[in-house]
Structure 1
């Protein structure tokens, strides 16, 4: 079973990295570390290692018992706090390196010499240059003492350790519970099954798609080396792929255009043996694959066949080749139709044609929705409900299954109050059954590898139809550790491409390197996030969830963030402040008030990894050096800067910086300060600024990845 995610957070992967980090800090290389610090780190390492085993069990059992989700959330809270403490230690090291770069070099040389040289060499060096050696040792001690945890750091570390000690103490009780749960019979995942029989006699829309598919099925491909063509129908769950193919399949079944028609429901397990035996229509299910393929070869020999492989998920190229072997004996003009949610599957089966299916057209969709929501009633008899229904339809992206899900809830009570209540809810908040839209979309998410799950859920932070730049998205992923520090951006680009191929995101037309999430998958991402990714757009009265970790807020609602600081300051890791929307119901905050409030907010949000300030009137406060965890800062759309806060160059963890200015003073400040940010690997700024910074290569990471600079 794929690892379960809490708010898109995969516990096992995160804890594994945390254990590695603690082991590094608890190691002997920091010999000047305080004894009590090393003891606490050792305790933390021990507890994390034992909890690590239980997490794998919890992720498995969570499918059976919802209490495991609560237990994993407690671990997440403690793990994030532990990460902050250890990250602060990293910051101390980077700070010391920036302030004493020359001394670092001498200490590193001395340390290398003492660890790799023989004892006689050391003795000789100490006798001949005793004063020089003594000076170097004193410098080493002074420098390494700056790497120590402060008393405040120790208090934070003790708090973290105590939390994990408490969690660890519950382990035995948890494992006993697991034994009981494991003794219960596990219910298999209920995949829907399909056949060629349509669920409804009435079919809405898809005229062009239907005609195009029929045309493809009667064409003879003279250029093909095989007697059959493969046509792939690609689209997200619930968009109507199966319904379209059922309609076309039955047309050709009834007209006898093909000598043989076979419908196969594939689902998540591509079993070549089962599928081959179903195509043979043989009663001898115990026959081997070889026997089944020979029977199928004889059945197909010289016949024109139409074979549908519905709902294909995971498949290897070799499996497809094996399944298609008997088709070589079919007659020219045979066709295979594959329906899938993955472009990878479509490209893997050497499709001669790929049809990507989107939502129904507006008029067709309203007719279908009306049938679902009004049943036998006439919508014209309910003008108020019709108006509400049209508002609901605008949120459902033309998805037939979404219309059925919401329509069934509306149909129960044809009253304005009930319909208004449903209209005001998000799709994931509407009560649903196992075969409704959210449940149908869930398998797509569960099939994602762990590293893509958290990348996808991060899209829930942004509004629907929000166009995200690929390079900025990568920097945010990297800031949160979704990408390893050393992972090149080329690999991150593959993450984006994987999400594209699996239809979780789409390219924005006519905008290079911009991406958007399908509306329904955005709803699903919000349901998985469970409040950890939250937006305050045009509703000041919205209630911010207590567990929020990533916040998107309109500049006109900045006061709401200030009023919620007590809940936000412990956990918030992303803050995206967008410019105020025109016509927003909230009053516009003046520039001076906005920047005053922003300064107070940033003083409290000490765990931020990502800060994006899109308000044109916004200005960074002078004091930023408390944002020690910040990895990505985007002030590209803030035009009011006349100088750069010197504290910006104390953000030693900063990996990505995006800004926009033509000011000469800022050029000079950037030239002097950027060399201190040794972790910087991404700089987006006007070309004139970048070209004027002589020390642009000084940051180690940026120098290694010079080609990743953005020069606008």
Structure 2
């Protein structure tokens, strides 16, 4: 599956070579002409990669060809990276180097002339290898496709018939949808509208189509809707084809002599077809099911909606889709029906129905016990339950059941209609860059609580995010990609927290990520028999794993991480693995037990991100860490015994994100101020810190977090010190006086997001951001009882979240004045819940006008 990423790698290499910044760097290093020749070779082979990716599944020789190209591309990425490294090193020596540095460099292996000669030779070697392999492209009959316009792979057309007794655990969902269908259709002003659209949303295999069938065939629906139409949309939302499908579906119920024969419909023009359709539907109260909708083009949906709007009052449409964004676009009811997983009990009942002949399950109590464990891995997805149950039908040997129980889903044989192919439809539909990003989520264990900050660092270090621009940060791009994945139902328990988001993966979606990422990403545990050759990204999820040797084929690893809070790297692991992987881009040593880092860490010149978060033993870092000119992320938060941060931080000229915990009373502010790419700064648990940036200006900083710095007495919040600051997070600050209003109105920050935690009252200074503040998050303020009335003056506020404020008793009485407010989220605020509970709370009418309200205990 990893060969499906090759087009994306080629595209990123060519984009990098074409960028102005990289062309300037290549001129500085002296290899511009060599790289332009390489770009031509890359473009030649890239032209057929999309076609090759799609044809490789049934052609072993083609897969091997793609593997060769993949390995060459990896080498090309490493070579191109050296150009960046050398250009950045030159810049540091120019800006901060001493005469001794410059003389030493001339006599070292990084002498510009020697480096240029070696690099030019490596580039030419890469180009020759590409040209040799590319010469074979014609023998595979590959077509030239320049743009990745991913289309949904075909799935079988659905039909409306269902045997109701075969469906288990959907009674509640069925009644919910039927109640919505039977309700009068009201518009936003309380008036009647012709057509309501009810979306059913969920991942592949969850049973959306089955639920729609149950509703479609219910007697109450048949009695209420004289005209019922079932249309499987699937691959294409083509208006002409859809009109024909609707006409064909309606012709079973509507008798008209004016309708052309079914065999002639394709020969008619759209104008004739829409006339026929409108004639058939006019004045009819109908139910239309649009099953399996993938299209996100609102223009096409509105066009169809206009055509069917001639139906009688009370006509309804049911839409089944995997995409919440499609549901939001098409739906007209207050909310979409998000289909949940089956309960463990219902899952077992369904499994038994497919695994045994009727009534024979009582003979096999031992198999039922194993069956419970098998069902658990299905996580309530009916298609997975049915697939695994049917694979065991009439098999009564315990060994066979135990074997299936102990295998992961992705290692099981799969038929076309099994769970992995069903989920993979959504994956195949994604563009290449998004498929790569999704695959990287396999590096985290099941049920992992993801935080977008960490995902952004991983994707950024791997080169999966677009080249940085003035108006977009790495986190902005990561949030856009996560939003795209969310829109495809790949993420769940998604929670936006103002400055970041958290989410999880359904276990079966995680299985899909592992399946598509094999040979590129690998989770390593005590059950791992062998690490795949040439794997690039490794995640270690257990302590005590062998670390005394590393295979040569793994020395090209790009990422090493320890995602489990209970697991951390030892010094033995560091010496055996990390220091031998010279091409590392991402190194997460969170929760490690290392007392120090070796000086040689400075030789990992490709490194983009390093985390020592929550290392309680480390006291100092080697100054050589400041030789990592490519470093974009440095995380030292939670290092409670760190006595001082490294000297000469200013040399980290690419650093964008810095998180610090230190015993220092004064930070090296002059160094930090010279980090001209720094966008995000978090200062946490610095107990000795009394002041912060009183005399220092941070011209590029966009996000500032100050967490649990209990003795902090001053922090200037004005445009002189932070001209670009947009997001401020304050938590656990004992003295809130320094949050007072700025005296100079022209120097007031243009904050867009504020997150406040552990406060008794909200600071009055919030009022000065009334015209710019869009997001306000109040979290963990356990003593906060009331919100100030002036909160309603925040005229630009779009997102308001209160979480973990158990003593908060009310919202401002004039909250209706927040006319820009689109989202109100109340979580674990016990006293608010009863008052503002949707539909039933006494204060619900005060907030019912808000577009999205999420209120739960």
TM, length-normalised to structure 1: 0.84
Which of 205, 218, 241 is the equivalent residue of 1:238? 205
Structure 1 CA distance for aligned equivalents of residues 32 and 193 of structure 2: 68
The answer (yes or no) to whether the contact 1:47–1:164 under 8 Å persists in 2 is yes
* 2:392 match: secondary structure: helix
* 2:181 match: secondary structure: helix
Structure 2 CA distance for aligned equivalents of residues 691 and 206 of structure 1: 61
Give matches, 1:332-411, under 5 Å: 332-352=313-333, 353-376=335-358, 378-411=360-393
> Are 1:82 and 2:76 matched, yes or no?
yes
Q: Cα distance 1:510–1:207, how it changes in 2: closer, same or farther (>3 A)?
A: farther
Aligned to 1:217: 181
Q: Cα distance 1:10–1:409, how it changes in 2: closer, same or farther (>3 A)?
A: farther
Greater mean deviation of Cα atoms: 442-451 or 226-235: 442-451
Q: Which runs of 5+ in 1 are unaligned?
A: 107-137, 583-588
> Are 1:72 and 2:98 matched, yes or no?
no
Q: Cα distance 1:315–1:661, how it changes in 2: closer, same or farther (>3 A)?
A: closer
Aligned to 2:446: 464
Aligned to 1:123: none
The answer (yes or no) to whether the contact 1:304–1:334 under 8 Å persists in 2 is yes
Q: Cα distance 1:492–1:180, how it changes in 2: closer, same or farther (>3 A)?
A: closer
> Are 1:330 and 2:311 matched, yes or no?
yes
CA-to-partner distance for each residue in 1:293-349, whole Å, 9 max, x for gaps?
A: 222222222221111000000141111111112332222211100000001111111
Structure 1 CA distance for aligned equivalents of residues 705 and 548 of structure 2: 33
Q: Which runs of 5+ in 2 are unaligned?
A: 146-150, 252-258, 679-697, 708-857
Aligned to 1:113: none
Aligned to 2:215: 248
CA-to-partner distance for each residue in 1:445-473, whole Å, 9 max, x for gaps?
A: 12112221111111111111111111111
Q: Cα distance 1:315–1:363, how it changes in 2: closer, same or farther (>3 A)?
A: same
> Are 1:500 and 2:494 matched, yes or no?
no
Structure 2 CA distance for aligned equivalents of residues 266 and 658 of structure 1: 48
Aligned to 1:699: 675
Distance apart, 1:179 and its partner CA: 6.1
The answer (yes or no) to whether the contact 1:261–1:305 under 8 Å persists in 2 is yes
Give matches, 1:84-483, under 5 Å: 84-101=78-95, 148=112, 150=114, 158=121, 161-162=124-125, 164-178=127-141, 189-198=153-162, 201-222=165-186, 223=190, 226-252=193-219, 255-280=222-247, 281=251, 282=259, 283=261, 284-285=264-265, 286-352=267-333, 353-376=335-358, 378-411=360-393, 413-483=395-465
Structure 1 CA distance for aligned equivalents of residues 37 and 501 of structure 2: 46
Structure 1 CA distance for aligned equivalents of residues 438 and 408 of structure 2: 19
Structure 2 CA distance for aligned equivalents of residues 340 and 409 of structure 1: 28
Q: Cα distance 1:477–1:704, how it changes in 2: closer, same or farther (>3 A)?
A: farther
Structure 2 CA distance for aligned equivalents of residues 71 and 22 of structure 1: 32
Q: Cα distance 1:692–1:654, how it changes in 2: closer, same or farther (>3 A)?
A: same
Structure 2 CA distance for aligned equivalents of residues 216 and 293 of structure 1: 28
The answer (yes or no) to whether the contact 2:2–2:520 under 8 Å persists in 1 is no
Aligned to 2:11: 13
CA-to-partner distance for each residue in 1:397-439, whole Å, 9 max, x for gaps?
A: 1111111222222225321111222122111111111111111
Give matches, 1:650-661, under 5 Å: 650-661=627-638
Distance apart, 1:164 and its partner CA: 4.3
Greater mean deviation of Cα atoms: 542-551 or 242-251: 542-551
Which of 532, 538, 542 is the equivalent residue of 1:545? 532
CA-to-partner distance for each residue in 1:357-378, whole Å, 9 max, x for gaps?
A: 1211111111001112224363
Q: Cα distance 1:179–1:503, how it changes in 2: closer, same or farther (>3 A)?
A: closer
The answer (yes or no) to whether the contact 1:687–1:711 under 8 Å persists in 2 is no
Structure 1 CA distance for aligned equivalents of residues 417 and 26 of structure 2: 56
Structure 2 CA distance for aligned equivalents of residues 601 and 267 of structure 1: 48
Aligned to 1:516: 504
> Are 1:530 and 2:530 matched, yes or no?
no
The answer (yes or no) to whether the contact 1:678–1:701 under 8 Å persists in 2 is yes
CA-to-partner distance for each residue in 1:488-512, whole Å, 9 max, x for gaps?
A: 2223211111211211112356987
Structure 1 CA distance for aligned equivalents of residues 143 and 318 of structure 2: 45
Distance apart, 1:709 and its partner CA: 4.8
Q: Cα distance 1:202–1:557, how it changes in 2: closer, same or farther (>3 A)?
A: same
Structure 2 CA distance for aligned equivalents of residues 621 and 102 of structure 1: 24
Structure 1 CA distance for aligned equivalents of residues 179 and 125 of structure 2: 68
Distance apart, 1:56 and its partner CA: 4.2
Distance apart, 1:221 and its partner CA: 2.3
Which of 561, 583, 606 is the equivalent residue of 1:576? 561
Structure 2 CA distance for aligned equivalents of residues 491 and 22 of structure 1: 20
The answer (yes or no) to whether the contact 2:22–2:84 under 8 Å persists in 1 is no
Structure 1 CA distance for aligned equivalents of residues 364 and 26 of structure 2: 76
Q: Cα distance 1:224–1:457, how it changes in 2: closer, same or farther (>3 A)?
A: farther
Distance apart, 1:270 and its partner CA: 0.5
Count of residue pairs the alignment pairs up = 654
Q: Cα distance 1:562–1:149, how it changes in 2: closer, same or farther (>3 A)?
A: farther
Greater mean deviation of Cα atoms: 248-257 or 450-459: 248-257
The answer (yes or no) to whether the contact 1:239–1:357 under 8 Å persists in 2 is yes
Higher relative contact order (CA 8 A, sep 6+): 1
Q: Cα distance 1:635–1:303, how it changes in 2: closer, same or farther (>3 A)?
A: same
Q: Cα distance 1:614–1:378, how it changes in 2: closer, same or farther (>3 A)?
A: farther
* 2:80 match: secondary structure: helix
* 2:243 match: secondary structure: helix
Which of 593, 609, 628 is the equivalent residue of 1:632? 609
Q: Cα distance 1:157–1:348, how it changes in 2: closer, same or farther (>3 A)?
A: same
The answer (yes or no) to whether the contact 1:22–1:86 under 8 Å persists in 2 is no
Structure 2 CA distance for aligned equivalents of residues 100 and 144 of structure 1: 17
Structure 2 CA distance for aligned equivalents of residues 350 and 246 of structure 1: 19
The answer (yes or no) to whether the contact 1:4–1:10 under 8 Å persists in 2 is no
Q: Cα distance 1:377–1:168, how it changes in 2: closer, same or farther (>3 A)?
A: farther
Structure 2 CA distance for aligned equivalents of residues 62 and 442 of structure 1: 16
Give matches, 1:600-615, under 5 Å: 600-615=576-591
Greater mean deviation of Cα atoms: 53-62 or 345-354: 53-62
* 1:490 match: secondary structure: helix
Q: Cα distance 1:160–1:225, how it changes in 2: closer, same or farther (>3 A)?
A: farther
User: RMSD in angstroms over aligned alpha carbons?
Assistant: 3.5
Structure 2 CA distance for aligned equivalents of residues 181 and 54 of structure 1: 5
* 1:74 match: secondary structure: helix
